[in-house]
Amino acid sequence: MFESAELGHRTSKAAYDEEVPRLREALLDAQSDVGAAASFPVLAIISGVEGAGKGETAQRLNEWMDPRHIRTHGFPAPSGEEAERPPMYRFWRALPPRGRIGIFFGSWYTMPILERAFNRIDDADLDRAVNEIRHLERMLYNEGMLMVKFWYHLSKETERQRLRELEKGPRTRWRVTKRDWALFKRYDKLREVSEHVLRETSTLEAPWIVVDASDRRYRELTTGRVLLAAMRRRLDEPETAPTVTAAPIVPQQDNVALLRSLDVDRSLERKAYEEQLEKYQGRLGLLVRSKAFRRRSLVLVFEGTDAGGKGGAIRRVAGALDPRSYRIVPVAAPTDEERAQPYLWRFWRHAPGHGEIVIFDRSWYGRVLAERVEGLASEADWMRAYEEINEFEEQWLRNGAILCKFWLQIGRDEQLRRVGRREQTRFKRLEIDQGDGRNRKKWAAYERAVADMVDRTSTEIAPWTLVEGNDKQFARVKVLRAVCRALRNAF
């Protein structure tokens, strides 16, 4: 895969000086058009061997275009905050919004390649990381992102010479570290691993461009030309339809029986409720203060029928916790900032660190529920969301999160009574959703969406807990009991 990048491509100074003004003007025009359209973001990933000029080229792109609308990110070893969260967390936070250009100097490829080259992970771990990367890039592509991936290559002898030259120069010797030489000693292994990773991740939606980096002028011009061509092609050609990666939704006669078979009238007497509430709140408080929880995190997801009692259940959970240890994230319609990013971006921002608790009042499941039923997302978008959600949750769980997902179900008559009481009670009026009436009219459609959601996202590692909710006391105790059970099983 790297043979053609070892042919010693060269660009003369005269040719370079002649082309750069035209290329720079064209890049500025394309950047301006991307910003004016504000319909897609551009992400340039610059990776490759040490000493190949990755940082220099990133700097050159900032010089050739307007740096005010470019965000360049380097990714050294994860900080303490980042190390406590899934590996993709820091990359999600750095993604450019629509209309902007991002440059990743280093990326989600760096750690898997280095870890395998130094035998800190095996082939199975590497393949899992590669699958995760492919999934992420396909999702970003379907969200509209333009990804251009560059791999700067040097032959072994050329890299040795480059490092020595940099080390000798008084102005450049600081750029060569012991780590660079340690990586050079692993050149053959790094080449083998890198070639495997590039081959597995050079896809239709995000192909790799391997660049001979032995000549600075050739490297810079090639990078600029490729980036320009990619932006112009996206600007001038019709947008590609998103790819559906989920199995089709087919009519299932027994699907909605999952909800209809729930005995929503299950109840708990007041005295028993008070005893069990105290019991499970006390148990929850002890579990999250235990030594075992310091290396874990807790994520609680509350979805349910409108007026189904999510707020009351959340308050009883929070009543057992130190207010400093948890955050409640109410999820409403996305803001302008959130709409400019991939769908899951606003949830990745809330990934908890060790010992932290995050409670979502509605969540990422909105795409396969309200957005599906109300026509706010295309069929392609909500269909692929099932797979994306499962992968998203798996990454959090693999990093030590304990995830509890609750669907609170009430009957139609009970929902009507609760909405009526909210209208008559002053302090409850803020709880009324403008869509309550509309959602009630689409009860059957929501039933089907919920049943499909549970079928496709209740996994062995992140199952749904269906809560019978007509009696609030019964529902609150069931939620607390389920959270305690999940924590105990995790330790």
**Distance, CA of 89 to CA of 102 (rounded, Å):** 16
Residues 64-79: tens digit of each pLDDT: 999 999 999 999 888 8
The number of CA neighbours under 13 Å toward the Cβ of 431 is: 19
CA 160 to chain centre: 38
**Distance, CA of 441 to CA of 164 (rounded, Å):** 73
CB-based contact 409:305 (threshold 8 Å)? yes
Residues 198-226: tens digit of each pLDDT: 999 999 899 999 999 999 999 999 999 99
**Distance, CA of 272 to CA of 421 (rounded, Å):** 25
- Per cent of the chain over pLDDT 70 is 93
Predicted confidence band at 427 (pLDDT cuts at 50, 70, 90)?
A: very low
What 8-state DSSP symbol labels residue 238? P
pLDDT at 166: 85
Tokens matching residue 73: 């990110």
User: If you classify domain 257-490 with CATH, what class do you get?
Assistant: alpha beta
The number of CA neighbours under 13 Å toward the Cβ of 244 is: 10
Query: Per residue, what are the HEC states of 46-109?
Result: EEECCCCCHHHHHHHHHHHCCHHHEEEEECCCCCHHHHCCCCCHHHHHHCCCCCCEEEEECCCC
On average, the pLDDT of the chain sits at 91
CA geometry: angle at 461 spanning 457 and 464, to 5°? Answer: 45
Q: Where are the domains of the chain?
A: 3-236, 257-490
The number of CA neighbours under 13 Å toward the Cβ of 54 is: 25
From the list 262, 246, 247, the residue with the least C-alpha distance to 447 is 262
Residues 231-276: tens digit of each pLDDT: 999 999 866 555 555 555 555 556 788 888 999 999 999 999 999 9
- Strand duo 326-330 + 357-361: pairing: parallel
Query: Topology of 3-236 in CATH?
Result: Rossmann fold (3.40.50)
From the list 376, 349, 372, 371, the residue with the least C-alpha distance to 360 is 349
Give yes or no on whether 3-236 and 257-490 have one common fold: yes
Residues 86-142: tens digit of each pLDDT: 999 999 999 999 999 999 988 999 999 999 999 999 999 999 999 999 999 999 999
Predicted confidence band at 174 (pLDDT cuts at 50, 70, 90)?
A: confident
3-state secondary structure of 192: helix
pLDDT at 242: 53
Sheet of 42-48, strands arranged across? 70-74, 101-105, 42-48, 146-153, 208-212
**Distance, CA of 329 to CA of 309 (rounded, Å):** 16
Angle between helical axes of 123-142 and 110-117 (0-180°, round to 10): 170
